[in-house]
């Protein structure tokens, strides 16, 4: 296009065409102002209520000197205020930094320092930890917001966030925000000593919302529970934000307590639920599962790790009217990359499905050449979902985005029909006696043994085998399992080198707040098992 416009005209066009996270909520509120958008405990907010609270919060922050590009660190369990801050930050063009509420002061201090946060918001119960983190960072002049989740009065120097949202100017702030302006900084748990900061923009996120909604069968008439932490983009961006985009009703719970989830499904006639496999397993094992009326539930989603095939079959038997989707991806993909559809669950059990609507996916070798069908390689993606890179880390960004593809760090196989099977994380591939063993393959085989509730397989140092395959198994309640039973069961399924050299029985597996099993902790805990 050769025609050139004056700066004023170009700005006017940009204003008309603006489509960012803040605009998404406003447009939903205009379409359905009186529909209930968020339920959280005693709080029930229509979309018009949420939009008004967002404007008030944005204006309150602006009045405190917060401007476009500033970093807002948010440390909180799930609550309606979290959702409002998410959109208020987007309307101002600031960068929201959701922080894992399970971190200690030193870990939070690193994120505050690395992100350059100038605003810190926390719930009352976490304020002592966050205050200590701010002391370690020397962050003395930050704007401080206090969410009174437990009803505690804000301490000196902290503002009550509810006041930001329930009073004051409710007019929309006028801030020009471009599609690819950074609006979110997500810190990955990662395998390294320090987490990486993943930058996301409206373009990344909204294109991902479209893929979720269309390929995930989502609609405005959904009623969904949000139980997994909103500091993780799976719950925040694959589900809560998509619900708000479409105009569905969101019920926010502080965590995935099985009894509360099952009760809420019955009482609120919930139609849609996302859980990682560990939480689906906890629901199936809870005594209320068969006592509650779960007939309203129609859509179920899982991700974060592979669903054991036996658990998948059990879900199909006990929730026959629920359609299941498998979402696979990572934070750097905002986070969706591939989807396995409901009609493919048993036929393609264990698969991560095919590339989502706005995604290209392939598997490559160490030189980034596509590998032949059926061979293992690294999973890479190309998509507008992809992040803007790692904040303040040119080297890691260049390595991850080399040769025109985002490199996931996962190993996988794509079959002749284009279905992806995730073999393992590169770090979880066990190299034992010169052979590669995928921990997931061993886990799937152990789940076939009656009485196994959960299992994690990983490698530990070994003087002869370099790494030894090790399994930590949690038996179902009232069931006894022996190491001999496990080995006998696996003898007819797996080659000898794939069978665990060590089997440990445990009451539970360590997990992060998102429900992921912490294999790093298990490796550390059992590092000396070969010597013992």
pLDDT of residue 304: 73
What average pLDDT does the chain have?
93
**Cα four-point dihedral sign 129, 134, 137, 143:** positive
Name the burial class of residue 514, with classes exposed (0-12), middle (13-18) and buried (19+) by CB atoms within 10 angstroms of its CB. Answer: buried
> pTM to 2 decimals?
0.84
Peptide bond into 335 cis (omega under 30): yes
User: Residue 70: CA atoms inside 13 Å, Cβ hemisphere, count?
Assistant: 20
What domains appear along the chain, each with residue ranges and CATH number? 18-177 (3.40.50.12780), 202-425 (3.40.50.12780), 433-525 (3.30.300.30)
Cα 42–chain centre separation: 26
* Structure token digits, residue 477: 């309640």
Pick the more confident residue, 463 or 174.
Answer: 174
pLDDT of residue 427: 67
* Model confidence at 190: pLDDT above 70: no
pLDDT tens per residue across span 426-468? 667 787 876 778 788 899 889 999 999 999 999 998 877 778 9
Name the burial class of residue 149, with classes exposed (0-12), middle (13-18) and buried (19+) by CB atoms within 10 angstroms of its CB. Answer: buried
Distance CA 115, CA 132 (A): 17
For 486, the enclosing helix (H) or strand (E) is helix 483-491
Name the burial class of residue 512, with classes exposed (0-12), middle (13-18) and buried (19+) by CB atoms within 10 angstroms of its CB. Answer: middle
Contact between 333 and 352 (Cβ < 8 Å): no
Q: What is the mean pLDDT of residues 464-480?
A: 91
How many other C-beta atoms can be found within 10 angstroms of the C-beta atom of residue 291?
A: 11
pLDDT tens per residue across span 11-60? 999 999 999 999 999 999 999 999 999 999 999 999 999 999 999 999 99
Contact between 252 and 278 (Cβ < 8 Å): no
pLDDT tier at 192, thresholds 50, 70, 90: very low
pLDDT tier at 2, thresholds 50, 70, 90: very low
Non-local (6+) Cβ contacts of 4 within 8 A are none
Distance CA 112, CA 522 (A): 28
* Structure token digits, residue 422: 């995730």
pLDDT of residue 189: 62
pLDDT tens per residue across span 223-273? 999 999 999 999 999 999 999 999 999 999 999 999 999 999 999 999 999
pLDDT tens per residue across span 281-308? 899 999 999 999 999 999 999 987 678 8
End-to-end CA distance of the chain: 72
* Structure token digits, residue 331: 């934070």
């Amino acid at each position: 296009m050769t025609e050139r416009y004056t700066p004023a005209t170009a700005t006017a066009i940009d204003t008309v065409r603006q489509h960012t996270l803040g605009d998404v909520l406003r447009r939903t509120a205009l379409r359905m102002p009186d529909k209930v958008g968020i339920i959280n405990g005693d709080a029930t907010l229509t979309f018009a209520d949420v939009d008004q609270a967002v404007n008030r919060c944005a204006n309150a922050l602006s009045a405190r000197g917060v401007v476009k590009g500033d970093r807002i660190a948010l440390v909180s369990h799930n609550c309606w205020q979290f959702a409002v801050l998410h959109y208020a930050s987007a309307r101002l063009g600031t960068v929201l930094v959701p922080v894992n509420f399970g971190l200690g002061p030193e870990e939070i201090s690193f994120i505050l320092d690395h992100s350059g946060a100038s605003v810190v918001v926390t719930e009352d119960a976490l304020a002592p930890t966050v205050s200590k983190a701010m002391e370690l960072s020397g962050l003395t002049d930050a704007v401080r917001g206090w969410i009174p989740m437990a009803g505690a009065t804000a301490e000196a120097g902290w503002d009550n966030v509810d006041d930001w949202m329930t009073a004051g100017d409710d007019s929309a702030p006028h801030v020009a925000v471009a599609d690819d302006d950074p609006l979110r900084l997500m810190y990955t748990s990662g395998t390294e000593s320090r987490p990486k900061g993943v930058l996301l923009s409206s373009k990344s996120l909204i294109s991902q919302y479209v893929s979720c909604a269309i390929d995930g069968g989502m609609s405005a008439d959904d009623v969904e529970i949000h139980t997994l932490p909103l500091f993780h983009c799976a719950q925040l961006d694959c589900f809560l934000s998509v619900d708000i985009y479409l105009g569905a009703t969101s019920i926010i719970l502080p965590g995935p307590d099985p009894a509360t989830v099952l009760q809420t499904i019955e009482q609120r006639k919930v139609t849609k639920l996302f859980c990682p496999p560990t939480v689906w397993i906890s629901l199936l094992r809870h005594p209320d599962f068969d006592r509650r009326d779960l007939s309203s539930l129609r859509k179920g989603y899982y991700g974060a790790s592979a669903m054991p095939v036996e658990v998948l079959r059990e879900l199909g038997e006990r929730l026959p009217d629920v359609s299941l989707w498998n979402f696979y991806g990572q934070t750097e993909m905002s986070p969706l990359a591939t989807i396995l559809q409901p009609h493919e669950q048993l036929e393609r059990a264990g698969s991560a499905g095919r590339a989502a609507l706005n995604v290209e996916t392939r598997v490559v070798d160490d030189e980034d050449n596509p590998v032949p069908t059926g061979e293992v390689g690294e999973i890479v993606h190309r998509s507008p979902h992809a992040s803007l890179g790692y904040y303040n880390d040119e080297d890691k960004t260049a390595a991850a985005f080399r040769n025109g593809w985002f490199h996931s760090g996962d190993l996988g196989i794509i079959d002749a029909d284009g279905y992806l099977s995730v073999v393992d994380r590169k770090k979880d591939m066990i190299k034992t006696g010169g052979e590669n063993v995928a921990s997931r393959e061993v886990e799937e085989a152990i789940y076939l043994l009656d009485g196994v509730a959960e299992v994690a397989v990983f490698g530990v140092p070994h003087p002869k085998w370099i790494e030894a395959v090790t399994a930590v198994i949690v038996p179902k309640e009232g069931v006894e399992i022996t190491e001999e039973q496990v080995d006998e069961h696996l003898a007819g399924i797996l080659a000898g080198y794939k069978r665990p050299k060590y089997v440990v029985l445990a009451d539970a597996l360590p997990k992060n707040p998102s429900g992921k099993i912490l294999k790093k902790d298990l490796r550390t805990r059992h590092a000396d098992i070969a010597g013992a």
